[in-house]
Amino acid sequence: MMASSYNAKEEDGHHSGASGPGGGTAVKSKKPDNTAFKQQRLPAWQPILTAGTVLPAFFVIGLIFIPIGIGLFVTSNNIKEYEIDYTGIEMSSPCFNCSQNFSWNSTTPCKCSVSFSLDQPFESNVFMYYGLSNFYQNHRRYVKSRDDSQLNGDKASLTNPSKECEPYRTSDKKFIAPCGAIANSLFNDTLDLFFIDPNGTRTRIELVKKGIAWWTDKHVKFRNPGGNNLNLTAVFIDTAKPVNWRKPVYELDTDQENNGFINEDFIVWMRTAALPTFRKLYRIIQRKNSMTPTLPRGNYTLDITYNYPVRSFEGRKRMILSTISWMGGKNPFLGIAYITVGSVCFFLGVVLLIIHHKYGNRNNSADIPN
Amino acid sequence: MLMRENCGKSRRGKKKRVRKERKRKVWVSLWQRTMAREFGEPGGVECSKVKKRTKKKNKKENKTRIVFSNILHDHGKGRDNPNRHYANNEIKTTKYTLLSFLPKNLFEQFHRYANVYFVFIALLNFVPVVNAFQPELALAPVLFILSVTAIKDLWEDYRRHRSDKEINHMDCLVYSRRERRYVEKYWKEVHVGDFIRLRCNEILPADVLLLSSSDPDHLCHIETATLDGETNLKQRQVVRSFIDQDSDFEPSRYNSIIECEKPNNDLNRFRGYIAHGNGRRDGLYKENLLLRGCTVRNTEEAVGIVIYAGHETKAMLNNNGPRYKRSKLERQMNVDVFWCVVILLIMCLFSAIGHGLWMFQYGDQRPVFDVLSPEGTDMSPALSAIYLFLTMIIVFQVLIPISLFVSIEIVKICQVYFIHQDSDLYDEETDSPLQCRALNITEDLGQVQYIFSDKTGTLTENKMVFRRCAVAGVEYSHDANARRLATYQEIDSEEEECTSRGGTLPRRDSVTSHQSGRVVLRSQSTKSHRRTGSRAEAKRASILSKHTAFSSPMEKDITPDPQLLDKVNECSIQPLGQLTHELSDIMEFFIALTICNTVVVSSPSHPRQKVRTRFELKSPVKTIEDFIKRFTPSRLTSGSNSSSSSSLAAGRSAHKPGSESALLRLEEEQHSARRADLQSAFGPAPPAAEEGELRYEAESPDEAALVYAARAYKCSLVGRLPDQVTVELPHLGRLHFELLHTLSFDSTRKRMSVVVRHPLTDQITVYTKGADSAIMDLIRPPSSSDTKSKRQRKILYKTQNFLNLYAASGLRTLCIAKKALSEEEYGAWLNSHLQAETAIQGREELLFQSAVRLETNLHLLGATGIEDRLQDGVPETIASLRKAGLQIWVLTGDKQETAVNIAYACRLLDPEEELIILNADTQEACAVLLEESLHYIQSKFLCDFPEHTARALRDDIRALEVPPALVHRLGLVIDGRTLAYALEGSLEDRFLAVARSCRSVLCCRSTPLQKSMVVKLVRNKLKVMTLAIGDGANDVSMIQVADVGIGISGQEGMQAVMASDFTIPRFQYLQKLLLVHGHWCYSRLANMILYFFYKNAMFVALIFWYQFYSGFSGSAMIDQWYLIFFNLMFSAFPQLITGTLDKDVSAETLQDLPQLYMNGQNSEEYKPYMFWMNMIDAFYQSVVCFFIPYFAYADSDVDLFTWGTPITTLALFTILLHLSIETKTWTWLNWASIVFSVSLFFTVALCYSASCPICYPPSNPYWTMHRLLGDPLFYLLCVITPVVALLPRYFYRACQGSVFPSLIQVGRQLDKLSPESRTGMLDQRAMCGAKLPLYPFPGPLPKDYNPSAQEPHLCKRWESTKDSKQPIDQLRPGPTPQVTDSKEADLNQSVPAASRDRTPPRSEDPRSKAPALPPCNALQFDPALDSPDFKIVNWIPSSPFPQRDSVPLMPLYACDLLSARRGQGSRTPNGPDCVEAEDLGSPKEGFLTTTLL
């Protein structure tokens, strides 16, 4: 990268250490030891940054980055993604009614369905996300508002959760399980996807709800209290459900493997998003066989049980279908960035080349001993 | 009631000086009694009675210490012991005890604002509503910082404790009351009032009043090297009343009461009274006091009573620890820390407002993610904004670099360590390495702009060599001696090489530190001597003597001037009464040289044992007269004095038999036998070889030099006792002068006198020796016009001329005079003098006046010229420092002529320079002089505009930073009196204006106070960094005032060293200290500080950007652990390594290219704008590090900390790579530290995120890092982000290195070259006198100038001629001498008569004389010596092109503007070169000449 030449001439400072006063004299001289370290003569590499020496680095960066960028860009472009906003802000939206009327206090769920069509088939496993915008899951007090040991199945914490959960710690003189604002604001819309055959029949697409959370979360971090006690109801008997929840935590799913604190939807939600616009994995649509695409092109209907009000904070709700690649979801940014940076480096390399030609002679003449 | 007044007065006088101490009411009355009695007047009793009545009320009045013998009061039973209140001898220099450590240390640490700030922030975290981190965690950095400092303090304290313990447990003999004998006790068990028996070579455990000595003269010799560094022996006397006691001192019979001053730190003062049981009282003086830490020498045994013990001893009171100074860089840094605070507040305010607005936009509808306060209450936007402000301060706290302060301390300690370890700064001869006493101003060494130097002992060796003398108006030039000295120089250098190669170092105990630890060191060495016996001791002493200033053969052996020796012999063969005036003057001159001093004689076989030859002078006058009468005829006939001396020895029955005297007698006989031969041959062999075994130890080297000089003429000092001086004179044998008084030297009188009874004439004779200015005014003016006075006048006139001549050749001049007193005159004076001596108030003043009264109407005997040789390498060092852009001012107490000539000798002044000499007698004259000098400078340099710009162009480096006032080729010489006027408020500015435009300034005859005033003036008015260097007590004030004070551990004691920040053994080491270490320290620290600011800002800004995406809620995506430990752990080591070890340019290049030093002077590494540039860069980099991950993860399912961890990693990489760009030297340590940092981060991160699934809320990083490491996106980010972040800086650095490289970068390129080609390069520059082609060209260039095309061409030509000196020599006879001569002639004519009148009469017209002087060897540059560095010195363009006809002759102003031609045309080595270069007729002659000028 940089100009390199090891300075060997300074290595001669090495031999010594014992070149003090001759042996036998008991008197210790105050003469400093003549070691390379103490005399600051350690062999060293002394790069000098000049146009000439730096130039190769720029070209090398350019040459490496541009191909990487192109690769990334192509990869990203090959990812298929479909996004549909079902917030229901516009009058035309099928969920308009739901969004207008619904609040946390509503008791009856509101249902709406959105139709859409895919122009291209989604070949591999398709990941179904729900996306929220303008939802500050990274708010400082929100992020803190949880009790990890409670979620880890700690019985003591179950009945006496951390103070951090305030003000979502108690409800009706019972401790809330799971406590805290994060749990309280759990996303509770239910999404169902139907394929509309050209002949008009609705085929329900099987959505896998397991495997959407981190393995370590599901198996280590989150645990139901009482271990493998199947009777979750009994375990949670002394606790209250979070204020905004319709049903208690032990009724999140019928599958005992996915119920209580180890409900994967719940776990995914508890992993707070970094940015106010985020998506969270909702379901996975497994590819059945290699012959047919997971989601063939055609018309689809998304049935929504509209439980989650976002209008108060001007949020948006989306459903995203996406395939993924080795580098994750569709994001052309990194590819473009690599290409741009590579080009810039290449350009700067050329500039440096010019500078080097214009001014470098002087340095050369200095470097060349005459 | 007169007495009453008296009492009060004396008390008041004491009050001023005496330190506060506990009150002792019981002793008030006693004190009053003794005080009253001390006045010796009848009113005393009354006074005491009066006071007695009020004793209870006047507790405060107790300002003295009263010491009783502990024999009378059993100390063990304490209660009734009157001394029980005084401190005992146990010393405790530790600050803490085990219990008090924690609170006391914390208390001290909280004196730092930064610590308070961080504790405040940590405590803020405990407030739930604003807390950002886990409160316990937030305490971690503060605790870390505090504990690091605490551990450091603890360790230091422990070391102190250990050394204290060692000292406290040293043994000494204390008289035991119970056992009635002296018993061994530890030092710490010694109490005030104890009797201590001291043996030879023992160290004094406390301040002891000498009561008895085994010495027959009741003396005790001590060596005070540990206190003041003076290695000569000092005599201390037994208290007068105990001298008279015939029997040995017996403590049990002691029943006196001592009253003395309270403990104070004045080493040279001690006063008190001793009151005996029989009512007798005696004064106590400093001559009676033995100070703690001194070593007893030459005295078998001594007994004393402890007066001050432990911390109250003078040695301990002088112990005032290391000094704390704040460096310029730190001051600048603090400004930027303040800016950081401002930035922090702005960021917090911004966030707070943002948060308020964010809350406000939701109105009443509370979104689900906006959590209520912990209390469950709703918060208004405004309130929550206020809370948020506090939260943000916690989150952004890293912006104020908590670790910076600690890091700087660590780095500075390392820097000090490396400076200590530099073997180039170690002086083999004295075994003294450099010492740093101030630990925190290392970088100031790299920023010095003005150097203020003492002359004597700093530039010169302070080894005085007798060179010339003039007696009775006849000059004796001692040419043979000069030749001998020239050969010595060569031998000396060879010897030095031998010793350094042989490696067996003679060692001299030098004082290493101020701490009491050195006492231990000394004691150990002494103990070992005791063990190994006398041989080792003798060896040591011989080594010691070899390296004391006063006894090297160079100074000892003086080849007598044949003419003078003739005359001496002549006067010895003539009867005394018939001597001509001249001859008697010569005799007297040598007698004066021999006795008018305080030299102590010690004998060879028993080092440090003084020679004791005592004659009982019951009736000296008679016997001597008899003696003369008896022996004069025999002398005449025999022509040899062997009989006389032997009969003298035999005749004096009182002559104490002793081996020494027998030996001497024997030697003497051998001597006299040989003398005839010697006399006829005038051989250079002095008798030193045989009898010269007597060694002289003098307090001032001049004295020794004079005594040795006199000995060369066979007038040798044989012994000195308090009341008698024994002198051996040729043909007269030993004479014993009864020493009546010694009026010791002081700087106001500038002279010393001895009053003796002359044994030959029986007259009371005063011999005075002193500065010529002091003596010449006191010479009795020849009154009448008879031949005698005419002759007298002539002698005076001639001597004055010779004095001027000596001074002009850089010799120190002393005048010797005498005065004969009649008994009546003496009686009268004695009366008043005794009064003065016994006076209580203003004794010094009275003594001074008494001395002045005596020293009048003197008869001039002669004058001497003593050379103070320049230290090795001083001219080169000064030349190199000057090239480094340092302004060097010399402030000396010497007379003007001497100073000017030394200045020429050390190349401070250049013969080509014009000299402005300011000598004014009045304030007005001074004002006029300054005004006109200013005009002159302006008219000469500034108004000549084309010339001026040309200058700017050619002063290549200087032009880069055009200094506010251009420095011209002018020298300014100002004398003390004028300086006093110039330093007065109204003239200060004008003086500075003149002085700053002169290249060198020389202040002569300046007092220590003036020295410090000058430094202060320059420092405060010009706002520059000042360095003061000196070696003597008179430099202390200057050293303390300057930003950097440097002491030279030389001959003149340790005061300067004690006051200094750095101590170097020799002046020439200043070059490496400043140019290399100063530069390194500065650039390292400057870069480190900037880097710190950058690093913290960059890291904090990441979080700031995040606030825009988290509703300004104070949320951080970086895990709090990373956030807190990032600075302390992950990014700490590389910068410490770089800050300690980075070398931008190698030491060799820095010394070869002193211009590189200007980098530091101009603060180029750390300018105010650089802080902001770094801040901008930091913000840019943080934007990159934030937004690349932001966009890469935009609208994805990434969670907060899975997103934040890569950002942390990226920031770490970016920060480390940034450091890599700024690192200039990569040693394995740099690599290791970076690798360590990265691996530490990943190790910690992996462990941390694997450690606990439920801990560390809220981040709970479980398995985050592991997942990230499996994510390709993470690696992709890690590659691109640092590249983008550092691209601008890297590109800028590359461009800068190519397009406009700084001087430093040029230096680094030079480093790259092989040593041969580098020296070739530098030589070429020297030869061409022009810039290296690689140099950037400042300022506008001639358009067609193409350096690469032409300069190498030019240089090539030079290289071809370089190998064979022939062409150069041919070219040499250039116009230089002619031009100078003609110019000088012009000058001499042009100097107006008026201005000559203004100069003092005695220095009249030195310039017409000076050129005619025979060249003085010492001042002449040995061409052979000069030639090696010849080129290096000259290749700097700023070296002058001597005589261009464009230099205008100066206008005829009243001021003494002199061209500095002093007849040293041969000292212009650079002249020919420049001429050659011009003669070359290069195509770009215009350019060349400008660079040359």
pLDDT in tens, A323-369: 988 888 888 999 999 999 999 999 999 999 999 988 865 544 443 33
Most confident of A8-17, B154-163, B445-454: B445-454
* B454 annotated to a ligand binding site: yes
B153 is catalytic: no
d(CA B478, CA B466): 9
Of residues B495, B513, B1433, the one with CA closest to residue B1057:
B513
Q: Do A50 and B1297 touch (CB under 8 A)?
A: yes
Nearest to A46 among B1199, B1284, B1308 (CB): B1308
Give the number of other Cβ atoms within 10 Å of residue B574's Cβ.
Answer: 17
Give the number of other Cβ atoms within 10 Å of residue B616's Cβ.
Answer: 13
In this complex, is the C-beta atom of A63 within 8 Å of any C-beta atom belonging to chain B?
Answer: no
Establish, for the pair of chains A and B, how many residue pairs have beta carbons separated by less than 8 Å. 339
Of residues A225, A232, A280, A220, the one with CA closest to residue A259:
A232
Beta-bridge mates of residue B757 = B738, B764
Helix (H/G/I), strand (E/B), else coil: A304? strand
pLDDT band at B1455 (very low <50, low <70, confident <90, very high): very low
d(CA B1442, CA B911): 9
Question: CA angle at residue B855 from B851 to B856, to 5 degrees?
Answer: 135
B contacts of A370 (beta carbons < 8 Å) = 1320, 1324, 1352, 1355-1356, 1359
Window from B22-26, B208-212, B327-331, B1430-1434 with minimum mean pLDDT: B1430-1434
* B901 annotated to a ligand binding site: no
- Whether the pLDDT of residue B1383 is over 50: the answer is no
In this complex, is the C-beta atom of A318 within 8 Å of any C-beta atom belonging to chain B?
Answer: no
- Whether the pLDDT of residue B1472 is over 90: the answer is no
The pLDDT assigned to B1109 comes to: 93
d(CA B32, CA B53): 11
- Whether the pLDDT of residue B636 is over 50: the answer is no
C-alpha B1072: how far from its chain's center? 16
pLDDT band at B172 (very low <50, low <70, confident <90, very high): confident
Q: Cβ distance B736 to B620 under 8 Å?
A: yes
Beta-bridge mates of residue B234 = B222
pLDDT digits (tens, 9 = 90+) for B1415-1428: 333 333 333 333 33
Nearest to A143 among B1115, B1227, B1263 (CB): B1115
pLDDT band at A84 (very low <50, low <70, confident <90, very high): very high
* B1031 annotated to a ligand binding site: yes
Type of residue numbered B269: R
Question: Which residue pairs, CB below 8 angstroms and at least 24 apart, start in B376-385?
Answer: B376/A166, B376/A167, B381/B355, B381/B356, B381/B357, B382/B356, B384/B355, B384/B356, B384/B359, B385/B352, B385/B353, B385/B355, B385/B356, B385/B359
d(CA A17, CA B1273): 51
The interface residues of chain A toward chain B in range 34-53, judged by CB-CB distance below 8 A, are: 34, 38-40, 42-53
pLDDT digits (tens, 9 = 90+) for B486-511: 665 555 444 444 433 333 333 333 33
The pLDDT assigned to A320 comes to: 93
Nearest to A54 among B1110, B1225, B1290 (CB): B1290
Q: Do A220 and B1253 touch (CB under 8 A)?
A: yes
* B677 annotated to a ligand binding site: no
Most confident of A136-145, B112-121, B466-475: A136-145
B contacts of A276 (beta carbons < 8 Å) = 1109-1111
Mutate to test the interface with A, among B379, B420, B429, B1195 (most CBs of A within 10 A): B1195
In this complex, is the C-beta atom of A347 within 8 Å of any C-beta atom belonging to chain B?
Answer: no
Taking CA–CA distances from A135, the nearest residue in chain B reads: B369
Mutate to test the interface with B, among A54, A85, A136 (most CBs of B within 10 A): A136
C-alpha distance from A199 to closest chain B C-alpha (Å):
36
Mean pLDDT of chain B: 70
B contacts of A324 (beta carbons < 8 Å) = none
Nearest to A39 among B423, B1193, B1296 (CB): B423
- Whether the pLDDT of residue A81 is over 50: the answer is yes
- Alpha carbon distances (Å) from B322 to B224, B422, B435, B437: 21, 21, 12, 6
In this complex, is the C-beta atom of A208 within 8 Å of any C-beta atom belonging to chain B?
Answer: no
The pLDDT assigned to B159 comes to: 81
pLDDT band at B160 (very low <50, low <70, confident <90, very high): confident
**Which residue in B454, B585, B772, B1177 is the catalytic one?**
B454
In this complex, is the C-beta atom of A17 within 8 Å of any C-beta atom belonging to chain B?
Answer: no
Of residues A269, A322, A271, the one with CA closest to residue A294:
A322
d(CA B1487, CA B1339): 13
A contacts of B1308 (beta carbons < 8 Å) = 46, 48
Strands B968-974 and B998-1003: parallel
Helix (H/G/I), strand (E/B), else coil: B1463? coil
d(CA B708, CA B692): 9
Q: Which position has the higher pLDDT, B883 or A4?
A: B883
d(CA B983, CA B989): 9
What is the percent of chain B with per-residue pLDDT over 90, rounded to a whole number? 12
Of residues B461, B590, B473, B546, the one with CA closest to residue B867:
B461
- Whether the pLDDT of residue B1216 is over 90: the answer is yes
What's the distance, Cα to Cα, between the start and end of chain A in Å? 28
d(CA A92, CA A90): 5
* B914 annotated to a ligand binding site: no
Nearest to B1293 among A29, A49, A369 (CB): A49
Q: Do B1109 and A276 touch (CB under 8 A)?
A: yes
The pLDDT assigned to B340 comes to: 92
pLDDT band at B553 (very low <50, low <70, confident <90, very high): low
Alpha helices in chain A (DSSP H): 51-78, 96-101, 140-144, 148-151, 155-159, 181-184, 215-216, 232-235, 264-270, 333-367
A contacts of B503 (beta carbons < 8 Å) = 19-22
Of residues A139, A146, A142, the one with CA closest to residue A275:
A139
- Whether the pLDDT of residue B1327 is over 70: the answer is no
Of residues B285, B280, B259, B286, the one with CA closest to residue B62:
B259
Window from A184-198, B354-368, B469-483, B1208-1222 with minimum mean pLDDT: B469-483
pTM: 0.73
**pLDDT average, residue stretch B832-845:** 75
Q: Which position has the higher pLDDT, B1066 or B1105?
A: B1105
pLDDT band at B1192 (very low <50, low <70, confident <90, very high): very high
Q: Quick one: which H or E segment has residue B172?
A: strand B171-176
- Alpha carbon distances (Å) from B484 to B550, B566, B702, B1026: 17, 20, 19, 40
Q: Quick one: which H or E segment has residue B436?
A: strand B435-436
- Whether the pLDDT of residue B730 is over 80: the answer is no
Residues with Cβ within 8 Å of residue B476, at least 6 apart in sequence = B468, B469, B470, B561, B563, B564
**pLDDT average, residue stretch B164-178:** 85
d(CA B462, CA B226): 20
- Whether the pLDDT of residue A278 is over 90: the answer is yes
pLDDT digits (tens, 9 = 90+) for B917-968: 888 888 888 888 888 888 888 777 654 444 444 444 344 333 333 344 456 6
Q: What are the φ/ψ torsions at residue B746 (nearest 5 degrees)?
A: -140, 160
Window from B28-32, B58-62, B408-412, B1289-1293 with minimum mean pLDDT: B28-32
Nearest to A31 among B423, B1227, B1253 (CB): B423
d(CA A137, CA A127): 22
* B813 annotated to a ligand binding site: no
The pLDDT assigned to B1049 comes to: 79
Q: Do B362 and A312 touch (CB under 8 A)?
A: yes
**pLDDT average, residue stretch B1208-1227:** 94
Question: Which residue pairs, CB below 8 angstroms and at least 24 apart, start in B833-839?
Answer: B833/B741, B838/B283
- Whether the pLDDT of residue B196 is over 60: the answer is yes
Q: Cβ distance B549 to B508 under 8 Å?
A: no
Q: Do A366 and B1333 touch (CB under 8 A)?
A: yes
C-alpha distance from A198 to closest chain B C-alpha (Å):
33
The pLDDT assigned to B320 comes to: 57
A contacts of B426 (beta carbons < 8 Å) = 30-32
